[in-house]
Amino acid sequence: MSHKKDDMSTEAVGLGRRRFLNTAALTGLTLGVAACNDKPETAPAASGTSAAAPAAHANSSTHLKPGELDTYYGIWSGGHTGDMRILGLPSGREIHRIPCFVPDALVGWGVTNESKAIMGTKPDGHLRYTVADTHHTHASYKDGNYDGRYAWINDKINSRIARVRLDYFVCDKITELPNVQGFHGIFPDKADPVDPAINYTTRVFCGAEFAIPLPNNGGDIDKPEKYRSMFTCVDAESMEVRWQVLIDGNCDLTATSYDGKLAATNQYNIENGVHYEDMMSSERDACLFFNIARIEEAVKAGKFTTVGTSKVPVVDGTRESNKDPKTALTAYVSVPKNPHGVNASPDAKYFICAGKLSPTATVIELSKVLDWFDGKLAELDKAIVAEVEIGLGPLHTAFDGRGNAYTTLFLDSQVVKWNVDAAIKFHAGDKAAKYVVDRLDVHYQPGHINASQSETRAADGKYLAVGCKFSKDRFLPVGPLHPENEQLIDISGEKMVLLADHPVRGEPHDFIIFKRDLLKPKQVYDLDEFPLATKDPKESGVTRNGKKVTVRITSQAPAFSLREFTVKKGDEVTLILTNLDKIEDLTHGFAIPKYNVNFIVNPLETKSVTFMADQPGIFWCYCTHFCHALHLEMRTRMIVEA
């Protein structure tokens, strides 16, 4: 087997890079510079055989023969393409893209009335936003595992959260968070903090990265010391914002405990800095914990304010107001400078903060944080049970369910596998405890990482996916814009084994990987889900109410129910199309030339579009989605009378 990692992972190499970081990389914004220039030796030819060549591991073939299905679903965030992607693993094949925040021409997202209502429109009917930047996606839980109801994804640009129904794999709600900018980390809760019967997700927590004046309406612009960030709770069912917590410093990524009692966000800007130098001026930042039950008690007791025109209750989570553990809503645990990801271990005991600018991981024991809130732990910092060196530029951590953590090292271009218990022993003084188990080179500069079932109680330690931010010369060159490189690693053994990589369109961020049996997607819609459905083709036709015209059409391969329909120039036309084909995979499209309309209807689905009939003439509306031998003949004629 070509996999042989020890040579590259020797402490000599590691220490050399560490020294580099300590002297140079931390002095300024050199993180990015170092990231690009630190690794001239990692061109595939020179990078050692281990990571460059896929390993021939008998049990871990990623090549599926025709007809074979993947065993895991992957839910991927699409980054600033603004979509969500569904992959099959271990093949890495992309199966589906789910538009949420931005228009999509395949399905007509942002074209149909239904999708526009979800996305949000301006008074003139146009979409309010057409850009987005998705980072983090997580799914709903029950009993500490995914229950297949929902997934959520963030839009950092416009601070929106979208929910995706996992029965149909469609976005059904989007909420814009008030009073914040740069909404980044997102995590559903896994249980209710007080009611043990609620052992499933009912809240989604959202961390906002940027501080702004509150309200942000033109005041306090020159007083950055007054800018503030908030942590937001959204109701998982209604998608309404339940409450917000005003904090010191910022939020970044988010984690939740398995008992529902705690949520946390890492803070890289406790300085409340406006410029990057300010954000790096303090030696330590924080992992900020939220006591969910107490926050909700405070809201219930009316101990909140509101900001500007927003009605959302805002409780005070600042340091000054939360010094007394017995009443505190928040707890600021001090961690090394500018940390990044915070991840919950599948044994439910720890949150782990990756150091980013510090070459360390910090392990925080949740029971000790709860002890502090109960007045049983005098010093909050004692909740830190390990703070150990793991390598340069640690960003995100995944777990195998066997006590090991896997952290991406952005600057080292490595994944480091380390044992959490051994790290705790080492931190406690047992210098013989070897916590680093393995290191594997990846190509290049990894950001996100996740393992199969990692952030559930059912972490199964089979596959690890790594999102590499740079692919450099890994694929055929296609001009200056390179794809990213997603790599799949077998973690079933002691040593990590690189199995495969594939290019992905930029630029995915976080993702989750779970067993395919946890989902039971539906293959056809239910007509009753659509109030506008035309259930019988005989109900098709044109009805007029003044200048408002409604056209009802059904589709059944290879024909639309109307061979033609007539409207008048100046009409406002609402066209409602119901696909009465009930057969799985029988989708039709509907395009209207010169009217900028195209959308699809899946089996037993109904969609509508509204437009002004402003151009007289005949317009061949045709089916865009291949459905039948007579697909090309599947048309109807729209006549717009002058």
Binding site for ligand RUQ (CB under 6 A): 135-136, 184, 340-341, 395-396, 447-448, 509
Residue 591, contacted partner among ligand CUA, ligand RUQ, Ca ion, none, CB below 5-8 A by kind: none
Burial of 63 (0-12, 13-18, 19+ CB in 10 A): exposed
For the CB of residue 554, give the shortest distance to ligand CUA in the complex, in Å: 12
Query: What does 448 interact with, of ligand RUQ, ligand CUA, Ca ion, none (CB < 5 to 8 A by kind)?
Result: ligand RUQ
Q: Residues 38, 252, 285, 571: which binds Ca ion (CB under 5 A)?
A: 285
Q: Which is nearer to ligand RUQ, 182 or 273 (CB)?
A: 182
453 touches 514 (CB < 8 A): yes
Shortest Å, Cβ 625 to ligand CUA: 5
Least spacing, CB of residue 16 vs ligand RUQ, in Å: 25
Only one of the segments 143-151, 230-238, 277-285, 328-336 lies at the binding site for Ca ion (rule: CB under 5 A); that segment is 277-285
Considering the complex, what minimum distance in angstroms separates the CB of residue 561 from ligand CUA? 12
Task: List all residues 6 or more positions away from 33 whose beta carbon is below 8 Å from its beta carbon.
Answer: none
d(CA 198, CA 202): 8
| Distance in Å, CB of 557 to ligand CUA, minimum | 5
For residue 628, the minimal CB distance to ligand CUA (Å) is: 6
487 binds Ca ion, rule: CB under 5 A: no
499 binds, among ligand CUA, ligand RUQ, Ca ion, none (CB under 5 to 8 A by kind): none
Closest to 91 measured CA to CA, from 58, 114, 68: 68
- Residue closer to ligand RUQ, measured from CB, 129 or 511: 511
Asked, as a colleague might, if the bond just before 494 is cis with ω within 30 of 0, I would say no
Q: Which helix (H) or strand (E) holds 395?
A: strand 394-399
How many residues does the structure list for the chain? 642
CB of 64 to Ca ion, least distance (A): 45
Judged by beta carbon, residue 281 or residue 327, the one nearer Ca ion is 281
CA 503 to each of CA 116, 476, 482, 521: distance values in angstroms, whole numbers, following the listed order: 32, 10, 9, 27
Residues that bind ligand CUA (CB under 6 A): 557, 588, 623, 625-628, 631, 634
Nearer to ligand CUA, 495 or 588 (CB): 588
Contacted by 285, from Ca ion, ligand RUQ, ligand CUA, none: CB < 5 to 8 Å by type: Ca ion
160 binds, among ligand RUQ, Ca ion, ligand CUA, none (CB under 5 to 8 A by kind): none
588 binds, among ligand CUA, Ca ion, ligand RUQ, none (CB under 5 to 8 A by kind): ligand CUA
CA dist 580 and 601 (Å) reads 9
Q: Nearer to ligand CUA by C-beta: 370 or 575?
A: 575
Question: How many whole angstroms separate alpha carbon 515 and alpha carbon 453?
Answer: 7
Partner whose binding site includes residue 340, from ligand RUQ, ligand CUA, Ca ion, none (CB under 5 to 8 Å by kind)? ligand RUQ
Cα torsion 443, 87, 119, 115: sign: positive
For 299, list phi and psi in degrees, rounded to 5: -65, -45
Token duo for residue 75: 């839910």
Query: What is the C-alpha separation between 310 and 205, in angstroms, rounded?
Result: 18
Contact segment (CB under 5 A) with Ca ion among 33-41, 206-214, 278-286, 296-304 equals 278-286
SS3 content of the chain, % helix, strand, coil (to 5): 15, 40, 45
Q: 426 — phi, psi (to 5°)?
A: -60, -45
Q: Does 338 bind Ca ion (CB under 5 A)?
A: yes
Query: CB-wise, 279 or 489, nearer to Ca ion?
Result: 279
CA distance readout (Å), 195 to 161, 200, 237, 259: 26, 11, 17, 10
Q: Determine, following the binding rule CB under 5 A, whether residue 159 of this chain makes contact with Ca ion.
A: no
Site residues, Ca ion (CB under 5 A): 279, 285, 338
